[in-house]
Structure 1
């Protein structure tokens, strides 16, 4: 069963009233105000969550950079140690 354009127009025209009736008999204007207030609260909460996420990602970036610096430092130490071992091996072979 498909809807005709007349059915769709009827639904659009009456939907707000039907929702208002389901909202404990509040008039459409009151129901609309409540919906707008809810939307504002949701938008504010989304802004806060966005800010928290941004801060969290910044902290993760800082931690990653710190870990990268530590890993670079350790790699340099390993490279120095390998060079020392190569030099020792060459000195041993030379004897």
Structure 2
């Protein structure tokens, strides 16, 4: 290797070292010209504010979820109350149908008795008239 090639290799290594040493300063200079310590403190303060805001958001979400739970519980109670009212209405309708059914059964039994009596009387009258007709014809 020639000395010119070695110089360019050493020069490149020196450049890399120099860039590494001064990179933080250059970035801090680009950040509104503040020194690295002030920039770092500002970043930490921002991080603290972000963490506080996240904590606040977490608490806010927790509060919202608790309120939603309460609303769901209230809604569930209201739905339970309404379903109980509907059940009571169905029970009342069921009792009314049962009463009507019993009333219809009673009426059908009375009608059946009347028809049975009618049939008995009709049969008896038919036999009596038939017997009288036969007796009159024999005489």
TM-score, normalising length: structure 2: 0.56
Larger Rg: 2
Which residue number corresponds to residue 49 of structure 1?
Answer: 57
Mean Cα deviation higher: 19-28 or 39-48: 19-28
Which residue number corresponds to residue 35 of structure 1?
Answer: 43
The answer on 1:88 being equivalent to 2:96 is: yes
Gaps of 5+ in 2: 1-15, 104-139
Q: Deviations over 1:12-40 (max 9, x none)?
A: 76653343122112111111111000000
Q: CA RMSD in A?
A: 2.4
Distance 2:92 2:20 in 1: 81
TM-score, normalising length: structure 1: 0.79
Compare relative contact order (CA 8 Å, sep 6+) and give the higher one, 1 or 2.
1
Structure showing the higher helix proportion among its residues: 2
Mean Cα deviation higher: 85-94 or 33-42: 85-94
Which residue number corresponds to residue 74 of structure 1?
Answer: 82
Which residue number corresponds to residue 6 of structure 2?
Answer: none
Shift of 1:94: 1.6
How many equivalent pairs are there?
88
Cα distance, 1:14–1:91 mapped onto 2, change above 3 Å = farther
Q: Secondary structure at the match of 2:34?
A: coil
Which residue number corresponds to residue 69 of structure 2?
Answer: 61
